[in-house]
Structure 1
Amino acid sequence: MHITLRQIEVFTEVLKSGSTTQASQVLALSQSAVSAALADLEGQLNVQLFDRVGKRLVLNEHGRLLYPRAIGLLEQASEIEQLFQEDNGAIRISASSTIGNYLLPGMIARYRRDFPGLPLELSVGNSQDVINAVADFRVDIGLIEGPCHMSELVSEPWLEDELVVFAAPNAPLLQQPVTLETLAAEQWILREHGSGTREIVDYLLLSHLPRFQLALELGNSEAIKHAVRHGMGISCLSRRVIAEQLDMGTLAEVPLPLPKLSRTLYRIHHRQKHISKALNRFLSYCQE
């Protein structure tokens, strides 16, 4: 059986109009096309839906049985068309931890205020986790803290971010001029390998030190902040991550004998991924 929505639409319009002539005018079809569609539907169902009384078509018991179901099908089809005209599909985002935990919550809150009913899924991991999710089409778009080197992904600059070296307020390092040598002598508490922050810190900062002592590798920025606050070492994270603690004085920024540590945050998607209107609409909220 190959019943089409067009045949169902013809049936309901013939019922409302009372003739194939009137129905053809409403549907912008020829009368022969309307008659053929109705005949095809009756042939597939193996019943007559109308009694032919002269030139009139009178709905019979078979037509009365079909009519409410036909109306239901057309209403569902209309809902499907409206769904995609408004482009309200679910959005799946993956973000590295700094972005997912500190930047996106405010952006998502603004989006949800304007579109409270639209579904949105967010997963948070390190940058390599995000890259893998985008490459496997498990998410629509990724937001990461460093460049992406995978050829099948498109990587676009998104936001600028500043990295800050910080210590406990009473750290001995802050009581003397900070040099590359004194930095290298400190106990460093860093993000794990695979983290975008770690990749940039290695490149922008640690590559300038004659040597450095790695005390801890942690996969969580909150854990790093607590470890530094308790005097276990120094670290380097996004200013956004430690802004509140710097303001409160529970952490202190370490002045560097180097240019400001700036990095670009990136937006990535698969080359074969279609960027929908719904996704573009969400991304318009992902600005500062």
Structure 2
Amino acid sequence: MHITLRQLEVFAEVLKSGSTTQASQMLSLSQSAVSAALSDLEGQLGVQLFDRVGKRLVVNEHGRLLYPRVVGLLEQAAEVEQLFKEDNGAIRVFASSTIGNYILPEMIAHYRRDFPTLPLEMSVGNSQDVINAVADFRVDIGLIEGPSHMTELVTEPWLEDELVVFAPPSAPFLQQPITLEILAEQPWILREKGSGTREIVDYLLLSHLPQFQLCMELGNSEAIKHAVRHGLGISCLSRRVIEEQLEAGSLVEVPVPLPRLVRTLYRIHHRQKHISNALQRFLKYCDE
């Protein structure tokens, strides 16, 4: 059986108007096309839906049984059509932890202000989790703290982010000029392997130290901030992450005898991913 929406639409219009002539005018079809669609529908169902009374078509018991279901199907089809006319598809975003916790909330708030009901799914993990999810088409777009090296992904520079070394204000080593040797002697509390922050800190900072003492690895920036505040070591995170603590004085920035530690944040998607209008609209808010 191959019943079409057009056949159901013709049936509903003939029932409402009582003739194929008026139905053809309402549907902008020829009368012969309307008659053929109605005849095909009745043939597939194996029943007549109208009693032929002269030139009039009067709905019978079969037509009355079918009509409510046809109305429901046509309404659902219209809803599906409207979904895509308005680009209301659910957007799935996966961000690494610094971006997801400290950058995206403000962007999403602006997006929600203009589009309060549109579906948006956001996940937060480390950069490697994001890369894997984008590569597997489990999400539409990824936002990460370091470049992706997967050839099947498109990696685009997105934002610049400054990293700062920080310590508790009572740390004794702060009373002397800071050298790379002094930094190397401190106990370091770092993000876990696979984190975009860790990859960049290793490259921009730790590679310049003669050696360094890894005291602890933590998978959460909030945990690192508290560990440093309680005197367990020093660390290096995005300025956005510790901005409030620096202003309050519970943490202090450590001057580093190196060029500014600036990294690029990246936006990634699969090369074969179709960038829909809905997704383009969301990305504009990210760019702003």
Instruction: Bin the TM-score by the shorter chain.
Output: over 0.9
Q: Which residue is 1:80 aligned to?
A: 80
1:269 matched to 2:269? The reply is: yes
TM-score with structure 1 setting the length: 0.96
Q: Which residue is 2:116 aligned to?
A: 116
Between 1:234-243 and 1:104-113, the stretch displaced more is 104-113
Q: Residues of 1 paired with 2:232 and 2:45: CA distance?
A: 79
Preserved contact between residue 107 and residue 287 of structure 1 (Cα < 8 Å):
no
Between 1:241-250 and 1:106-115, the stretch displaced more is 106-115
Q: Which residue is 2:244 aligned to?
A: 244
* One-letter identity of the residue aligned with 1:145: E
1:81-136 per-position Cα deviation (integer Å, ceiling 9, x unaligned): 11111111222111111111111122222222322222222211110011111111
Q: Residues of 1 paired with 2:229 and 2:60: CA distance?
A: 83
Q: Residues of 1 paired with 2:164 and 2:273: CA distance?
A: 35
1:205-252 per-position Cα deviation (integer Å, ceiling 9, x unaligned): 111112212111111111111111112211100000000000000000
Q: Residues of 2 paired with 1:18 and 1:120: CA distance?
A: 46
- The CA RMSD measured in Å over matched residues stands at 1.3
Q: Residues of 1 paired with 2:45 and 2:231: CA distance?
A: 80
* One-letter identity of the residue aligned with 1:37: A
TM-score with structure 2 setting the length: 0.96
Q: Residues of 2 paired with 1:220 and 1:58: CA distance?
A: 71
Q: Which residue is 1:41 aligned to?
A: 41
Report how far residue 148 of structure 1 moved: 0.3
Q: Residues of 2 paired with 1:218 and 1:11: CA distance?
A: 66
* One-letter identity of the residue aligned with 2:124: V
Show structure 1 runs of 4+ deviating over 3 A.
none
- 1:172-211 equivalences under 5 Å are 172-211=172-211
Report how far residue 17 of structure 1 moved: 2.5
Q: Which runs of 5+ in 1 are unaligned?
A: none
1:153-211 per-position Cα deviation (integer Å, ceiling 9, x unaligned): 11111111000011111212221111111111211111111000010011111111122
Q: Matched residue of 2:232: which SS? A: coil
1:31-82 per-position Cα deviation (integer Å, ceiling 9, x unaligned): 2211110000011111111111222222222222222221111111111111
Q: Residues of 2 paired with 1:64 and 1:136: CA distance?
A: 49
Q: Which residue is 2:93 aligned to?
A: 93
Report how far residue 21 of structure 1 moved: 2.1
- 1:1-288 equivalences under 5 Å are 1-287=1-287
